[in-house]
Amino acid sequence: MSQDYCQLLEVCRDVTSRPMVYVSDWKRRNPGGKAVGFFPTHVPTEIVYAMGGLPVGLWGGDIVVDNAYAHIQQFTCSIVRSTTEYALAGSYDILDAVLFPPICDSAKLVASIWQLNLSNKFLVDMVNLPERLDSPASIAYLADELRRVTGALEQRFDVMVSEDALRGAIISGNRLRAAYESFCAWRLTKIGAAVTLVEASTILRAGTIMHCDDYCPLIEKLVRNVNEHQNTFGGVPVVVTGLACQLPHADFLALFETTGLRVLEDDLFLGVRAAPAVISDGDPYMNLAQGFVKSKPMATRHHGLIKRHELLLERIRHVKAKGVIFLVPKFCEPEWFDLRYLQAETKKASIPSLVIDFEEGPGISGQVQTRLEAFAETLVGQ
């Protein structure tokens, strides 16, 4: 791998293994700058950039959950449990605010628990996204809500966010999305094909923690000389879908390559990279709202199941995958609600599929490994 790639991976590994150390360093380099955490995934981070702040994705991770059970049930998904444990343990005390999107009942529940128990440490607010995306009223409603959230941040931090600053932040947000896109395209090239799923998830995840001015130059340097030729991939090509806002442990992700599969398309961090480029002229609030409404469908945000299955089939055909794996977080209602329908549609299109559920944290069952190996074997002759 190139020196540019090794450098990028090293930086991203460091940031993702110690995200709050990066936040602390960013604050030291930007005196007075505010760090605003966001619960995955649909929070318009442009608002934070516009006030000169740092948006920080909170993705949970390996922590023994104990104190959080005083507030939430054991049958909530693991990202809700682990982020709450981290927050109660003081791991997020360096943050100045945390924004939640109402992507599911669990996220709404955890937002209110944080508001009750952690508001003495940082501002906790909910960005009330519209439930329906196909109504003409959705855009105006969301634009008003973004104005309200911006006002709450202005008041809390005694700053003014001008519309010009927000237009500039939209340009930064577009640059970040373009970096994600170009990295995902680069993964399909001869050189990029050597990147494992674990490495790709590390690199994409770092983009949700680092400031775009720190992150984008590293990706832009890497992809400058894109090799247009498609690689002859080792492993059976598959698409992975279902990662609404949660990520399995690196040991789990590493199983894909070791069991003879090659993931060519996935939902890794789709929530932060699914919006199209946002128009930077005109009313920035309306433009951000329009960008949200036009985003690619996923379990936590779609216009209806038809568009989601159409996009899934298109992605499978585009990369010539032989099968699809539904990787579904345990206790994640949005993903489990969509699953049956998507399975039926892929079956109709004669695309083999496999369903595997997961939680954050280490520990892989031998059964999962066996099922992946068996699936890879059945696909070989397809």
Task: Work out whether 241 is an interface residue with ligand SF4 (CB under 6 A).
Answer: no
Instruction: Give me the least distance between CB of 125 and ligand SF4, in Å please.
Output: 17
Tell me how many residues contact ligand SF4 (CB under 6 A).
16
Q: Which stretch binds ligand SF4 (CB under 6 A): 104-112, 318-326, 349-357, 361-369?
A: 104-112
* 368 token code pair: 């999962």
What whole-number distance in Å separates Cα of residue 34 and Cα of residue 95? 7
Report the residue from 80, 193, 203, 274 that binds ligand SF4 according to the rule CB under 6 A: 80
The answer to whether residues 87 and 70 touch, using CB atoms and an 8 Å cutoff, is no
Instruction: Give me the least distance between CB of 45 and ligand SF4, in Å please.
Output: 18
Instruction: Tell me the three state secondary structure of residue 343.
Output: helix
* 178 token code pair: 């373009």
Q: Which stretch binds ligand SF4 (CB under 6 A): 99-107, 153-161, 342-350, 352-360?
A: 99-107
Task: Work out whether 300 is an interface residue with ligand SF4 (CB under 6 A).
Answer: yes
Q: Which stretch binds ligand SF4 (CB under 6 A): 101-109, 131-139, 253-261, 370-378?
A: 101-109
The answer to whether residues 198 and 259 touch, using CB atoms and an 8 Å cutoff, is no
Instruction: Give me the least distance between CB of 103 and ligand SF4, in Å please.
Output: 5
As beta bridge partners, residue 123 has 97
DSSP H helix total and E strand total for the chain: 15, 8
Counting Cβ atoms within 10 Å, is residue 228 exposed (0-12), middle (13-18) or buried (19+)? exposed
User: What is the footprint of ligand SF4 within residues 137-176 (CB under 6 A)?
Assistant: none
* 210 token code pair: 């680092």
Report the residue from 77, 219, 270, 274 that binds ligand SF4 according to the rule CB under 6 A: 77
* 117 token code pair: 């128990």
Report the residue from 36, 50, 79, 247 that binds ligand SF4 according to the rule CB under 6 A: 79
Task: Work out whether 329 is an interface residue with ligand SF4 (CB under 6 A).
Answer: yes
Instruction: Give me the least distance between CB of 331 and ligand SF4, in Å please.
Output: 6
* 323 token code pair: 């099968």
Is the Cβ of residue 45 or residue 189 nearer to ligand SF4 in the bound state?
Answer: 45
Task: Work out whether 332 is an interface residue with ligand SF4 (CB under 6 A).
Answer: yes
What whole-number distance in Å separates Cα of residue 138 and Cα of residue 302? 13
Task: Work out whether 297 is an interface residue with ligand SF4 (CB under 6 A).
Answer: no
Report the residue from 327, 334, 339, 356 that binds ligand SF4 according to the rule CB under 6 A: 334
Instruction: Give me the least distance between CB of 365 and ligand SF4, in Å please.
Output: 20
Report the residue from 150, 246, 287, 353 that binds ligand SF4 according to the rule CB under 6 A: 246
What whole-number distance in Å separates Cα of residue 344 and Cα of residue 189? 32
Counting Cβ atoms within 10 Å, is residue 273 exposed (0-12), middle (13-18) or buried (19+)? buried
Tell me the C-alpha to C-alpha distance, in Å, between residue 50 and each of 31, 89, 161, 165, 168.
16, 30, 6, 5, 7
Counting Cβ atoms within 10 Å, is residue 106 exposed (0-12), middle (13-18) or buried (19+)? buried
Residues contributing to the site for ligand SF4 (CB under 6 A): 77, 79-80, 103-104, 106-107, 244-246, 300, 329, 332-335
